[in-house]
């Protein structure tokens, strides 16, 4: 069913009965025609799946290096055929590689022995060609091929050339087509790679050491989330896929690694949305002798440097919003924002619960701190468009965070919001083993989930002494969304988790 999308722009939900059968029949016809051409290539003594092909120059470099007044310029290119015009004894083929496109000119006179092969080429085939570079009468830079090599025969018809692969569900399921059929998609993922590389460089230049911590853990710790469970056969024990690397990274602070970071994959057995994928990428770091103020300074400097390097200007579109990344960024207390947006005082819990009922939040069985946070999320978060550090969260929500000395009801924690979306979370880290153990026990007492377990080893590590520190986590997927203007997380994850295709069509 999905294969039909290779040759035309379709909507998966639009197929009914006979239409589905007709499309399947048409698809089979295209596949049969392509198989016949593959067989003819073999009859010509040509391997339709090629092999090593050296000295390839990126398409955009070929065009950039071309000089109009210089003779004898040659080039070798390879890529997928995305446009083909056959005008008898002359063919013009547009190749697309990871850098862009380049045109090939195929002439029967120049390619006499290979002309039968050239006539078998189709959209979607991957070919290589070498020859002299020049311009056509219309001014397009072109390689006039002296030799053509088939590198991979495509047995599937590519998307319709003017519209590409546009159905969102099909694009995510067939990213292998989406990337070359829609050049802007490849560019977005290239930009993602560059953003992550720049983040690494930024941190390494400031003395942070990149490390790796376990992705399979005996205790699901470091965040409040439902884990995925797996089983180790040899040891006959259940393990949890990491929901956060926090407790292992802090162990490294105890061990003397004073500045560490990890760009890690986390797994949370929770729902799907435009901002959530069960498998996601986080950059998490810890800095000895810092606090949450140091983390705010570091975060603002890092993100603004990424905007300056990878974006056009400091004002970027994000959906219907425009986000201004110019500093200094706003820092606002949690309680003040609650008062401003919800109209209730954080200390007046009856007023907060009344507001929750007004917002149709089922608050009756929730702890006070949870109700406060539910009201905050409903009334405040959608107002935070430009970068805003929300600071000083209720301490009950932050079991791993050091409390404020000025007012111990609050924790030295911030969340950074941009474009109505949480991007980063940071603490002044708790390093008192007795307080940490008490917080763990309080947290466990309020949970009915039997998987929740005290991390005794982490408490033991703290007893050896962990330096005061600041910690920070930044969602890489959401950061790339913001810097590329993608409004769904699926557009910045190469292979997002999706419902099975049959279920998607039924729903």
Binding residues for Mg(2+): 415, 422
Strands 388-394 and 330-333: parallel
| Alpha carbons 74 and 133: distance in angstroms, whole number | 5
- Enumerate the β-bridge partners of residue 281: 265
Judge whether 288 and 258 are in contact, CB under 8 Å. yes
| Alpha carbons 316 and 24: distance in angstroms, whole number | 43
| Alpha carbons 394 and 408: distance in angstroms, whole number | 9
Contacts (Cβ under 8 Å, ≥6 apart) of 101: 59, 79, 82, 94, 95
Judge whether 206 and 198 are in contact, CB under 8 Å. no
What is 4-73 written as a DSSP string?
GGGSS---GGG--THHHHHHHHHHHHHHHHHHHHHHHHHHTT--TT---------HHHHHHH--TT-S--
| Alpha carbons 426 and 433: distance in angstroms, whole number | 20
- Give the CA angle between residues 186, 479, 390 to the nearest 5°: 170
The DSSP call for residue 216 is E
Strand, helix or coil at 225? coil
Contacts (Cβ under 8 Å, ≥6 apart) of 225: 243, 244, 268, 269, 270
Nearest CA among 366, 333, 336, 337 for reference residue 349 = 366
Nearest CA among 338, 341, 343, 340 for reference residue 369 = 338
Strands 216-217 and 237-241: antiparallel
User: Would you list which residues are annotated within the binding site?
Assistant: 415, 422
92: exposed, middle or buried (C-beta count within 10 Å: 0-12, 13-18, 19+)?
middle
| Alpha carbons 251 and 266: distance in angstroms, whole number | 18
């Amino acid at each position: 069913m999905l294969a039909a999308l290779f040759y035309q722009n379709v909507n998966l939900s639009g197929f009914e009965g006979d239409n589905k059968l007709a499309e399947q029949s048409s698809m089979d016809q295209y596949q049969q025609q392509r198989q016949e051409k593959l067989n003819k290539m073999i009859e010509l003594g040509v391997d339709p799946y090629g092999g090593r092909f050296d000295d390839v120059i990126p398409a955009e470099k070929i065009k950039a290096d071309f000089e109009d007044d210089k003779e004898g310029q040659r080039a070798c290119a390879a890529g997928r055929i995305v446009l083909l015009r056959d005008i008898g004894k002359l063919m013009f083929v547009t190749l697309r590689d990871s850098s862009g496109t380049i045109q090939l000119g195929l002439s029967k006179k120049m390619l006499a022995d290979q002309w039968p092969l050239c006539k078998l080429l189709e959209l979607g085939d991957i070919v290589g060609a070498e020859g002299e570079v020049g311009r056509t009468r219309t001014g397009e830079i072109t390689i006039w091929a002296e030799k053509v090599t088939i590198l991979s025969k495509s047995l599937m018809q590519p998307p319709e050339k003017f519209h590409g692969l546009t159905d969102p569900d099909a694009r995510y399921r067939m990213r292998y087509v989406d990337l070359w059929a829609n050049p802007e998609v490849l560019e977005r993922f290239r930009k993602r790679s560059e953003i992550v590389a720049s983040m690494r460089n930024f941190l390494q230049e400031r003395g942070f050491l990149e490390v790796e911590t376990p992705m399979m853990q005996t205790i699901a710790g470091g965040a409040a989330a439902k884990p995925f469970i797996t089983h180790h056969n040899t040891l006959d024990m259940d393990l949890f896929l990491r929901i956060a690397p926090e407790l292992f990274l802090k162990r490294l602070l105890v061990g003397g690694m004073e500045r560490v970071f990890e760009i890690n994959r986390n797994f949370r057995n929770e729902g799907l949305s435009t901002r959530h994928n069960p498998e996601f990428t986080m950059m998490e770091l810890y800095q000895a002798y810092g606090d949450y103020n140091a983390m705010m300074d570091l975060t603002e400097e890092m993100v603004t440097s990424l905007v300056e390097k990878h974006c056009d200007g400091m004002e970027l579109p994000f959906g219907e919003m425009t986000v201004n990344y110019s500093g200094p960024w706003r820092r606002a207390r949690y309680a003040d924002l609650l008062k401003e947006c919800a109209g209730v005082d954080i200390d007046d819990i009856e007023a907060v619960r009344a507001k929750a009922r007004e917002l149709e939040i089922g608050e009756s069985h929730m702890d006070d701190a949870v109700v406060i946070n539910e009201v905050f999320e409903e009334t405040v978060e959608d107002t935070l468009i430009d970068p805003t550090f929300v600071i000083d969260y209720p301490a009950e929500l932050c079991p791993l965070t050091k409390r404020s000395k000025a007012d111990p009801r609050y924790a030295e924690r911030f969340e950074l919001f941009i474009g109505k979306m949480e991007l980063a979370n940071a603490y002044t880290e708790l390093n008192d083993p007795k307080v940490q153990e008490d917080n763990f026990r309080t947290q466990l007492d309020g949970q009915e989930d039997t998987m929740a377990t005290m991390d005794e080893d982490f408490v033991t590590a703290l007893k050896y002494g962990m330096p005061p520190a600041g910690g920070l986590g930044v969602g890489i997927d959401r950061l790339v969304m913001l810097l590329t203007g993608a409004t769904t997380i699926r557009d910045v994850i190469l292979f997002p988790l999706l419902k099975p295709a049959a279920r998607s069509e039924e729903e």
